[in-house]
């Protein structure tokens, strides 16, 4: 995975929010955490993938 979009973030944020018990008024926190996680995964993937692929 080298790129992600709002749908990817939305799915991840929803999953994180559900795992946390669906707390009220916290969805923004989960959105930012989802973005952070996806960005971290993208960077890890790029570091592991040879340039010649």
Sign of CA dihedral 47, 48, 50, 53: negative
Assigned domain for 1 exists: no
Element (H, E) at 13: helix 6-19
pLDDT of 49 above 50? yes
Assigned domain for 18 exists: yes
- Residue 27's domain comprises 6-48
For the chain, how many structural domains are there in total?
1
- Verdict on whether the full-model pTM lies above 0.85: no
Cβ atoms of 10 and 27 closer than 8 Å:
no
Assigned domain for 26 exists: yes
Q: Place 53 in a pLDDT band, splitting at 50, 70 and 90.
A: low
Assigned domain for 19 exists: yes
Assigned domain for 32 exists: yes
Q: Residue 38, Cβ neighbours under 10 Å: how many?
A: 19
Assigned domain for 29 exists: yes
């Amino acid at each position: 995975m080298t790129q992600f979009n709002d749908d990817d973030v939305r799915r991840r944020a929803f999953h994180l929010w559900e795992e946390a018990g669906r707390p009220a008024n916290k969805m923004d926190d989960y959105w930012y955490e989802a973005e952070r996680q996806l960005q971290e995964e993208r960077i890890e993937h790029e570091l592991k993938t040879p340039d010649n692929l």
